[in-house]
Chain A
Amino acid sequence: MQDILFYIFAALTILPAVALVFSRKSVNSAMLMILSFIGTAALFALLQAYLLAVLQVVVYVGAVIVLFLFIAMLVGAGSPKLAKRDFRNMALASGVFVLLSLFGIAAIAKTGVGTDALPVSPASSAANFGMILFTKYQLAFEITGFLLLAAMVGVIFISKRPDSGDTTTEAE
């Protein structure tokens, strides 16, 4: 049963990602990204990282995608024209894709599929998480909080209009 679920969730993670790369409208891309993130959260749940699965949905689908949607509607709505195709870059990208995939598959063919995981109690319960975050990773936790504050101040500073009196926003 878990095997079938794994393949379903893996497909749910990867197929929307591929469609995202090839979709023309950025709003559609944001919607496909939701699917991909939900697939990732399901994979986390299969790996018994339940708290991370919840966090993935809350932070990514709840916050990041909403941000992307806002900006996509603000910026990208008026440009339905397709971007100019650059075949050199396309070839480079597909080459990189095939090479990375082949590399991974070759490495796995060499080592075999590996063994099943040992049955352990769900390691990432919220209590365990809190314990490790406030003991071993206390400093990193505080620095992350400071980083979020810095990001917030930076975003406010960047997105503020340069000077309120002058409202010229035309392209040069």
Chain B
Amino acid sequence: MHAIALNHYLIVAALLFATGFAGVLVRRNLIIVLMCLELMLNAANIALVAFARFNATPEHPLMDGNAFVFFVITVAAAEVAVGLAIVVALYRRRSTVMTDDLTALKK
């Protein structure tokens, strides 16, 4: 059995990203669309941490990838808060969170 290398983590990240992307395209519920966005951000985080770990050497432990993930987590938290507030405001106004019913800008 061979060791786990960088590419294994990248495959996991790619599959997770593809799952999230498919979810954003397929789902109609705005809340679940936001969840799928979070999945995609997580996939990027896995790739960043994996690259940081596999490019580190004993005398030069790379921290930049990990620091970037730290910032991504922070921004993602802010994004979710604002996104869900918009969903609630929308629900108050229109009583729906389905993207099928939110076509006012189309007409």
Contact = CB atoms under 8 A, between A and B. Distances in A.
Contacts of B36: 20-21
Contact of B89 (A6, A55, A117, A159): A159
B106 interface: no
A169 B93 contact: yes
Contact of A52 (B7, B69, B88, B93): B69
Contact of A47 (B1, B50, B79, B87): B50
Which of under 10, 10 to 19, 20 to 34, or 35 or more describes the interface residues of A? 35 or more
- What's the interface size class on B, roughly? 35 or more
B2 to A, nearest CB: 6
A97 B19 contact: yes
Interface in B14-32: 14-23, 25-29, 31-32
Contact of A123 (B2, B62, B73, B88): B62
Contact of B38 (A64, A76, A83, A124): A64
Contacts of A63: 77
Interface of B: 1-12, 14-23, 25-29, 31-32, 34-36, 38-39, 42, 45-46, 49-50, 52-54, 56-58, 61-64, 66-67, 69-71, 73-82, 84-89, 91-98, 100
In the A-B complex, list the 4 residue pairs whose CB atoms are closest, starting with the nearest: A123-B61, A151-B78, A104-B14, A83-B28
Interface of A: 2-3, 6, 10, 13-14, 17-18, 20-21, 26, 29-30, 33, 36-37, 40, 43-44, 46-49, 51-52, 55-56, 59-60, 63-64, 67-68, 71-72, 74-76, 79, 83-84, 89-90, 92-94, 96-97, 100-101, 103-105, 108, 111-121, 123-124, 128-129, 132-133, 136-137, 140, 144, 147-148, 150-152, 154-155, 158-159, 161, 169-172
